[in-house]
Amino acid sequence: MGLYCGIDWATAHHDVAVVDADGRVVARGRVGNDAAGFAKLLTLLAEAGDSPADPIPVAIETDRGLWVAALRATGRRIYPINPLAASRYRSRYAVSGAKSDATDAVLLANIIRTDPDAHRPLPADTNLAPAIRVLARAQQDAVWARQQIGNQIRDLLKDFSPAALVACAELPSGGPARTDARTILAAAPTPAQAAKLTPARLRKLLIKAGRRRNLDRDVERLRQVFTDTYLHQPPVVENAMGIQLSTLLRQFDAACTAADELAEAAITHFEQHPDAAIITSFPGLGSLARARVLAEIGDDRGRFADARGLKAFAGSAPITRASGKKPVVPHRHITNRRLAAVGSIWAVASLRGSPGTRRHHDTRRAAADWNRQPQRHLFNKFLGQLHHCLQTGQLYHEHLAFPPPLTLAA
């Protein structure tokens, strides 16, 4: 007799239901979100018919957390069900719109009872892959936080210190995110304080930030920028904005440091993974982008039955909507956004070091594709090739991936 378990996940407690092959509820209950609650869950499953040889599969509306890790340790199949998909199934059983946690647990169990093939179970990754995922995602979050704070700093400088914006704009790439720019802004957060910076003080600040070259040139330029004529806020308002800028700079420093440290840790963990050699063989992937790719696709070879599944997961493959005589092929919006974010970077960077990708890109551009279409198509091809290489254990080969025209080959 087949048994299926559904867990309606919540913060303080979880509702559990076990149904048989006919959809009848054979066990149900509510357990706490702690070790005692998990032990109670295992007891409930054992009384329903669970055994180490034939563990009951579980459907739950999350794919992470302590409970998911504990359930995975029991060796059972775990189906993380998207809450949006669960809400669509709810109308299958009750069109009135009624909802409760207890009935949702039964609903989740019935989803994997009736449609197990329509939902992907949690991949059986090795322990190193989730560790890389934690670091890579944390690093990406730190980069997004850094960008958000950087935008706040720019908006604040526009309101009271245009000289600082001019000084940052004339620096090489990086702007306010550069160490030397942050050091000077922290030492003189208001225009009045910046105008009082002497050449000797500016030189010391640049050296403190790690600068060793072109000091005289930059000191003279910064001194000229800060002493130029600009509009000013009233002194009291300017000082208040300076205090706000100082607090934002401290947050900015922490975000920059976190992003750098997490990037180093993610790269170090990635280099220890057995799949690192295959992913590294692909053109256009930097050290951090490689870690992000492995973090999102994992190392479970059975996770994607074919390359089409991986492409759909990454959002590089479009979807088809056909109704009557109107077929439409739009962009796929429900995707792994973290993996999709790597796609453009991967495609553009590969054009500089891979003649095959450059030739493929230019051919599609000549066929009237707009700029984003060749990039998406390149990403789509790379994912198919990556799936093949990971399944077969082969490294990327330029001439096999993008065969040259017969005239060039001759």
Q: Which residue has the tokens 């590294």?
A: 280
List all residues 6 or more positions away from 193 whose beta carbon is below 8 Å from its beta carbon: 187, 242
**Range scoring the smallest mean pLDDT among 170-179, 240-249, 275-284:** 170-179
Q: Where are the alpha helices (DSSP H) in 272-371?
A: 276-280, 287-297, 307-314, 337-353, 355-366
State phi, psi for 7 to the nearest 5 degrees.
-125, 115
Nearest to 401 by CA among 340, 359, 343: 359
DSSP-assigned beta bridge partners for residue 31: 14
Residue 334 confidence (pLDDT): 76
The predicted-structure confidence for 68-110, as pLDDT tens digits, reads as follows 999 999 999 999 998 888 888 888 877 777 788 899 999 999 9
The predicted-structure confidence for 190-242, as pLDDT tens digits, reads as follows 999 999 999 999 999 999 988 888 888 889 999 999 999 999 999 999 999 99
For residue 78, the 8-state DSSP code is E
In this structure, how many other beta carbons lie within 10 angstroms of the beta carbon of residue 230?
Answer: 15
Structural tokens at position 160:
């009271």
Q: Is the pLDDT of residue 358 over 90?
A: yes
Residue 287 confidence (pLDDT): 93
The predicted-structure confidence for 271-323, as pLDDT tens digits, reads as follows 999 999 999 999 999 999 999 999 999 999 999 989 999 999 999 887 777 77
Q: Is the pLDDT of residue 329 over 70?
A: no
The predicted-structure confidence for 33-57, as pLDDT tens digits, reads as follows 999 999 999 999 999 999 988 899 9
Q: Which amino acid makes up residue 86?
A: A
Of 409 and 254, which is predicted with more confidence? Answer: 254
Residue 407 confidence (pLDDT): 65
* Percentage of residues of the chain with pLDDT beyond 70: 97
Nearest to 396 by CA among 283, 274, 306: 283
